[in-house]
A = this chain, B = another copy of it.
Amino acid sequence: MPRNFSLKKSPLAPINEPKLMPVQGLNLYTFSAGLYSKNRDDIAIFVFPKNSSVAEVFTKSSIRSFTLDWNEKILKNKKIHALFVNSGNANTFTGNHGKQSIRSIVNQIKKTYLINDNNIFVASTGVIGEKFPISQVLKTITKPQMTKEWMNSARAIMTTDTFPKGVSVTSMIEGKRITITGISKGSGMIEPNMATMLGFIFIDADFGSEILNKLLKENISYSFNSISVDGEESTNDTVILASTRAIKFKKPIKNVNDKRIIDFKKKLKKVFMKLSELIVRDGEGATKLIEINVLNARNEKDANTFAKSIANSPLVKTAIHGSDPNWGRIIMALGKTYININIKKLKVYFGKYLVIKNGTAHSKVDDKIISKYLGKDNIKITVDLGLGIKSSRILTCDLSKQYIDINASYKT
């Protein structure tokens, strides 16, 4: 059983908890199955109308949770009827017992919520390789406890998170108000291609799963796949975009290029960006949000590799933690990609301050000013390679002693 953290809320957490708006047709349930030693909610169930649509992306890890095998199978139906999420246990590397547990959960949900199909998605997060506490879970979910408070669901899916994460926006389509409400979790094991990270975005517009799939793929690369806390990638990462299809249109929307959804797409992007940013803001031990922009690379792959190398460099992250204007570590992180760089063309900025130019320190750079800038809790590093036109943006955070504290005793 994971230890309870009495961690202080991240200093980068939003000051006020957001107000989350209900998505038409969706019912929320939260439970406490006692999966943590402290009393807290640890299961969230979302029940959709029949024939709700869904799209999902998950970790590329070659060892992944059994839940993802199950979801992949279900995904072929392109429909979602319920979503089950538990924290406290990842149901990964749990053998046949883990697989059977998923089947038992699905059967119990069908019984309790009177669902007559298998379109039930399952997401688990928590410790890897511990026996899945199936009897506790089954006993608990037989007594449905409906909630109207979306933040309760956001809280139930937390593991080492120090604050619940959610965003709501609305958009008008054909004069009808569409709600986009998303929740996410994650604070460690976070890297591009996702993390111990779950993101669930719910809408009520009548979109089929093909449109959802395109919208998800479009948004994921700039959001959940462009964040990093520690360069780790988990076995359970999942982002789901699902719709209750409660709000119908005169003429069905069958194409992502439909002009009626221009504003909706902008709003949806905002939700993806915000949900993923909140995860970095809750990075284990994070005290500073760091935005890395790599500009003018030869190609997108290079741009990503450079940005990722900086974002995952413990030396860069500790230097920024200590407001140390040690830009040499950016150079080190660029160099260790082995990708060719023209140092004569390379420019590096901390915020608006140019620190590297013409293959050496910019003559006007003043360590004291840079150090003061690095004292802020929102840092921008810009690398202009001057080699091409491709760019990459990654959000990350600094590396502090608290990361060690949290992770040196997670299981015990």
Contacts and interface: CB of A to CB of B under 8 A. Distances in A.
Interface of A: 59-64, 90, 92-95, 97-98, 127-131, 188-189, 191, 230-235, 312-315, 318-319, 321-329, 331-341, 343, 356, 358-361, 367, 371, 399-401, 403-405, 407-412
B360 A230 contact: no
19 contacts: A59-B335, A98-B360, A128-B328, A129-B331, A130-B361, A232-B314, A232-B332, A232-B333, A314-B314, A314-B399, A318-B407, A318-B408, A319-B410, A319-B411, A322-B408, A324-B409, A399-B404, A400-B404, A401-B405
B326 A403 contact: no
A339 B189 contact: no
Number of copies: 2
A332 B231 contact: no
Contacts of A410: 319, 324, 326
B93 A361 contact: yes
Contacts of A234: 332
B335 A233 contact: yes
Contacts of A339: 62
Contact of A360 (B60, B94, B233, B412): B94
Given A97-B360, A324-B411, A399-B404, 18 more contacts: A61-B338, A92-B328, A93-B356, A127-B326, A128-B331, A129-B331, A129-B356, A129-B361, A231-B313, A314-B407, A315-B407, A318-B407, A319-B407, A324-B409, A326-B412, A328-B411, A401-B401, A401-B405
Given A93-B360, A324-B412, A334 B63 contact: yes
By Cβ-Cβ distance, the 10 closest A-B pairs, closest first, are: A128-B328, A322-B408, A95-B360, A61-B335, A63-B335, A318-B407, A233-B336, A326-B411, A401-B401, A129-B328
A98 to B, nearest CB: 7
